[in-house]
Chain A
Amino acid sequence: MSAQPTVLVVEDDVHIAHVLTFMLERQGYLVTHVADGRAASAHVLGNPAPDLVLLDVMLPYVDGFEIVGLIRAQAGWQDTPVIMLTAKNTERDTVRALDAGADDFIIKPFQPQELLARLRRFLKTAA
């Protein structure tokens, strides 16, 4: 892992993407943000793996389940921790996210401090 941990944020909601980027950069992470499923797929296929992926389920063009499948199939990305952001009251989505290969999930609406704690757990493990 590099000195500054890298996080790929895949989130189509521009306001939430700003909050996530602000929070993560403030913690010293280097954040790359992509705003839809197609851009996320292209990023996964054309770039080295980050230290962690924060992935929304509901995305335009390609949904989060497909992206996590792509991550698990892509050389160099298989062991990258993936945390998925799922909507409240969608237990089926949560199970599907874990089945698809996600390491953890955060339910929206989310608590920023809880999200950071989950992130730190994975990044410490990676270190």
Chain B
Amino acid sequence: MTFITISIAPGFGAPSDPILAAAFWTGIAALLLTLLLGLQIVRLRISLRARERRRARTLARWRPLLNAAIVGDSPQELPRLLASERLHFIKLWVHLQSSLRGDAGAALNGIARRLGLDAEARAMLGRRARTERLLAALMLGHLGDREAWPQLLRLTGLDDPTLSLTALWALVRIDPHAAAEYLTPLFVEREDWAMSHVAGILQQAGAPVAAVLAGMLPRLDPDRLPRALRIAEALRVELPAAPLAAALSNDAIAVVTAALRIVNTPLLQDRVRALLAHADWQVRVQAAKALGRIGDRSDVGRLVALLADREWWVRYRAAQALAGLPWLKRADLDALRASLDDRYAADMLAQVVAEQDAANARHEAPAGTAMEGA
């Protein structure tokens, strides 16, 4: 049996054995750290509660005034906005601005300017706090504040994607035409920015972006062309036929398919028809879809021929294109299916017609049927 003797140094309290001394001091350090952590938790909770109280006070004081302004009753006199209320007020203001439009938005802008928040937001843009910069960019965008343009432009170059995209959004709000000139090439270049974000930001500048894209397309190298065409697709903007025709003649499959996705003019019928026989099945798929949008009566035969394609997706899209042609009624489709010798082609057309029938039945179902028995 082993006995351990713990000897305490006289007058100090720590053990004299080095291993025990290390354990003793580690214990003391852990205790102190636990106490510090506990104090920090208490401090954070107190701070959170104080912030919640300030927020509640701010909302109680300013919400009735903002609501009155929204319905057209802007108060003659406004109370002073306290420094402790500023961020809570701006959060509420930005939230309301994003949910309302028209006169209500203009009334909210009027209140913000009377409180001097346009100048305050410009000052916030220059601060380090990220939240303040984000809120300031949103506020200046809603205000359409031209004075903030140079500052916002600088923010767009930051590595922080949220901050830079918010600054870009604000630029579009302030001046869609000027922003389109600057932003469109940037969005084409930045593959890392999600298309949904890009489309959301450029939504307000659809027409100017289309003009910029049309000018850019002939000069873009094939690596960048698909991205540019996808932006046009996301914004649902129509590009002129000439640059689209050039894209349809490109050697790169990604460029041709991206162009086919947005072709919407009969001027390009012949180019699209030529692509129905392309060696790549993805091109044939998009060509069939495009012909469904822009084709004429003479294209029925071409689409019927595609029903016998060796690729399932080509046959499916060709059948959908046929079923979507406005001059082919249900009886015409049935007759067409009966006339087909190829079993796979007939089956595909039957499947698409059945899908169409099911969709129509859902559309025509009386309201509330789904909830019967709920």
Contact = CB atoms under 8 A, between A and B. Distances in A.
A101 B367 contact: yes
B100 A112 contact: yes
Given A18-B63, A22-B71, A23-B71, A69 B368 contact: yes
A100 interface: yes
B368 A112 contact: no
Given A101-B367, A108-B99, A111-B102, A73 B67 contact: no
B4 interface: no
A16 B104 CA distance: 13
A19 B70 CA distance: 8
B100 A69 contact: no
Contacts of B363: 99
Contacts of B371: 66, 69-70, 72-73
Contact of B101 (A66, A72, A100, A110): A110
Contact of B104 (A18, A69, A99, A111): A111
Interface residues of B, number: 27
A13 interface: yes
A46 to B, nearest CB: 14
Given A19-B70, A73-B372, A100 B367 contact: yes
A113 B103 contact: yes
Interface string B86-104: 0000001001101111111
Contact of B67 (A18, A78, A89, A99): A18
Contact of A113 (B102, B365, B367): B102
B102 to A, nearest CB: 4
Contacts, number: 76
Nearest to A82: B367
Interface string A96-110: 000111000000111
A15 interface: yes
Contacts of A66: 370-371, 374
A32 to B, nearest CB: 18
B370 A15 contact: no
A26 interface: yes
Of A16, A78, A108, A109, most B-chain CB atoms within 10 Å: A109
A96 B141 CA distance: 33
B70 A112 contact: yes
Contacts of B71: 22-23, 26, 112
Given A99-B363, A111-B104, A112-B71, A15 B96 contact: yes
A114 B99 contact: no
A13 B96 CA distance: 10
Contacts of B203: 89
Nearest to B68: A22
Interface of A: 13, 15-16, 18-19, 22-23, 26, 66, 68-70, 72-73, 78, 89, 99-101, 108-114
Interface of B: 63-64, 67-68, 70-72, 92, 95-96, 98-105, 203, 363, 365, 367-368, 370-372, 374
**What 8 A-B pairs have minimum CB-CB distances, sorted nearest first?**
A101-B367, A69-B371, A72-B368, A111-B102, A22-B67, A109-B101, A73-B371, A73-B368
Given A72-B368, A109-B100, 5 more contacts: A72-B367, A73-B374, A99-B363, A109-B101, A109-B105
30 contacts: A15-B95, A18-B63, A19-B70, A19-B100, A22-B64, A22-B67, A22-B70, A23-B67, A66-B370, A68-B367, A69-B368, A69-B370, A69-B371, A69-B374, A70-B374, A72-B367, A72-B371, A73-B368, A78-B368, A99-B363, A99-B365, A109-B98, A109-B100, A111-B103, A111-B104, A112-B70, A113-B72, A113-B102, A113-B103, A114-B102
